[in-house]
Structure 1
Amino acid sequence: MSESAEQTFPVDDDLGVALLLADAADKISLARFRALDLEISTKPDLTPVSDADLAVEDELRALLSGLRPDDAVHGEERADSGDSSRRWVIDPIDGTKNYVRGVPVWATLIALMDGPDVVAAVVSAPALGRRWWAGLGRGAWLRVVGGHAAPLHVSAVADLADASLSCSSLGGWYDLGLGERFVALSRQIWRTRGFGDFWSYMLVAEGAVDLAAEPDLELHDMAACSLVVTEAGGRFSNLNGEDGPVGRSAVASNGLLHEAVLAHFS
């Protein structure tokens, strides 16, 4: 893949469509980031949603209706549409709590699933100046603003005592009765940091950290991230060891450490 690979996918290529959608999302989300008139409301699950979340998802759905009219769409903020086995999975702004507080760690997650398989994915974090993407069997890639596309590879760390773990809030583990097990795991690991959300998984794909885990997620949180991790050579499963963006939990690793982590929750 060439240095300008991100720009060379034709629009009739599924990954090309995903990248085009990410461009459209970035324009909306960046324009509203830290806007003084940003509108924020609370969803029934008590999580925040901004006018930017809604605007991004609506724009991507509109684009897909023209580019991929026969495909289904699953998004975080709107009702599912279509019944095709090909399904676009969209998280318009992953990290909304960061977004509404002016913290630049947020991203748009876009994935295409064909049946149970994720076949194309983009994770775009414009406020960080970073975009990751992957195609099934085509590898995973990162472009930092101003730079060229570079292939991603997970780390080669093979011992938990040497590993770096990224996680979300500790409270979520305790809410599900897994807090003590998570703490026990963290005590065997060299370093634990709460980068959180999509960034944990992208850092695994980059080889910057070796493990990431979260106890309570939705499909739109995981689909895009899972393909980037696995195409970078890693493994992505739930806490029961089922591979892919399935269930309500996630463990991402370089593959070498995966079974050791799962053993803590079995």
Structure 2
Amino acid sequence: MTGDFSEDLRFARDLADMAHVISLERYRALDLAVETKPDRSPVTDADRAVEQALRAAIREERPDDAVFGEEFGGELQKGRQWIIDPIDATANFLRGVPIWGTLIALAVDDDPVVGVVSAPALGRRWWAARGEGAWLVENGAAPRRLAVSAVRELADASFSYNDLQYWRGAGKTEQLLALADSVWRTRAYGDFWSYMMVAEGSVDLVAEFGPQIYDLAALAPIIEEAGGRISSTTGERIFTARDALVSNGLLHERAVAAIGD
């Protein structure tokens, strides 16, 4: 997919600014309202308020674009569509853990071409648009262009994964343990942060079971523009399989083989 998405990226960053105002006001609020969704994941009043505000802004500024969000749904469709996770890592948000953020993507014909991952409690924002590189701003400093690591061997790799229960549910516990034994370092940083550290070059490999389209769409342009690769755990570049594998590209096929064994 080629094209100039610079104005869409600017708009996505404006949306992230809007989200921050709402989410930071509710972060660690004593009256934060928390409910449990049918899938047993938590949702707060902040999740819903952020998504409602972003949807309203998109309707005003991009009235012909579709929207799909975690809290208020929608239909995945061709053409231009914004994909939103208003607060990724809601469990962290409601417990006062600072690893949470807003994920905003623009997909064109099912292909994510713009991504913004914004984590205000960490003071970090990552972004990318197709053909324009991947970038990080930390605590208001000048933007820094991102590049994945050059690690070529699993034995030298830093590997991050999500909760063990998802691997167990997928019947992949043995593969996780074998992969963990084959790498240099294993951590469960979790959520968007694992993926962004691949783009930064500080983590080499991430594999997860359980993520949804709104967990992945904004990550894809950032990872790919940084030189990495994102796919399902079977190696296909799809975002609806409820699993994900991200790497610096050099380790990807070996990780696919390890998880599939």
Shorter-chain TM-score bucket reads over 0.9
Q: Is the 8 A contact 1:71 1:84 kept in 2?
A: no
2:37 counterpart letter in structure 1: K
1:42 counterpart letter in structure 2: T
Query: What is the 5 A alignment of 1:71-150?
Result: 71-80=65-74, 85-150=79-144
Q: Is the 8 A contact 2:161 2:187 kept in 1?
A: yes
Report what 1:245 is aligned to.
Answer: 239
Separation in 1, partners of 2:57, 2:118: 17
Other structure's SS at 1:128 match: coil
Other structure's SS at 2:159 match: strand
Matching of residue 57 in structure 1 with residue 51 in structure 2:
yes
Other structure's SS at 2:255 match: helix
**Following TM superposition, by how much is the alpha carbon of 1:211 offset from its aligned partner in structure 2, in angstroms?**
0.6
Matching of residue 226 in structure 1 with residue 186 in structure 2:
no
**Following TM superposition, by how much is the alpha carbon of 1:79 offset from its aligned partner in structure 2, in angstroms?**
2.8
Report what 1:163 is aligned to.
Answer: 157
Query: What is the 5 A alignment of 1:19-38?
Result: 19-38=13-32
Other structure's SS at 1:90 match: strand
RMSD over equivalenced CA pairs, Å = 1.4
Matching of residue 196 in structure 1 with residue 190 in structure 2:
yes
Report what 1:181 is aligned to.
Answer: 175
2:112 counterpart letter in structure 1: V
Q: Is the 8 A contact 2:133 2:226 kept in 1?
A: yes
2:225 counterpart letter in structure 1: E
1:215 counterpart letter in structure 2: F
Separation in 2, partners of 1:135, 1:215: 26
Separation in 1, partners of 2:165, 2:109: 34
Unaligned runs of 5+ in 2: none
Number of equivalenced pairs: 256
Q: Is the 8 A contact 2:6 2:129 kept in 1?
A: no
**Following TM superposition, by how much is the alpha carbon of 1:13 offset from its aligned partner in structure 2, in angstroms?**
0.8
1:117 counterpart letter in structure 2: D
Separation in 2, partners of 1:36, 1:51: 12
Percent identity, aligned pairs only, is 54
Query: What is the 5 A alignment of 1:35-54?
Result: 35-54=29-48
Stretch moving more, 72-81 or 199-208: 72-81
2:241 counterpart letter in structure 1: G
Q: Is the 8 A contact 2:77 2:109 kept in 1?
A: no
Separation in 2, partners of 1:131, 1:244: 24
**Following TM superposition, by how much is the alpha carbon of 1:82 offset from its aligned partner in structure 2, in angstroms?**
8.9
Compared with structure 1, are the counterparts of its residues 68 and 155 closer, same or farther at alpha carbon in structure 2 (3 Å cutoff)?
same
Unaligned runs of 5+ in 1: 1-10
Separation in 2, partners of 1:14, 1:239: 30
TM-score normalised according to structure 1 size: 0.94
TM-score normalised according to structure 2 size: 0.95
Other structure's SS at 1:142 match: strand
Report what 1:4 is aligned to.
Answer: none
Separation in 2, partners of 1:37, 1:104: 18
Runs of 4+, deviation exceeding 4 Å: 81-84
Compared with structure 1, are the counterparts of its residues 209 and 58 closer, same or farther at alpha carbon in structure 2 (3 Å cutoff)?
same
**Following TM superposition, by how much is the alpha carbon of 1:247 offset from its aligned partner in structure 2, in angstroms?**
1.6
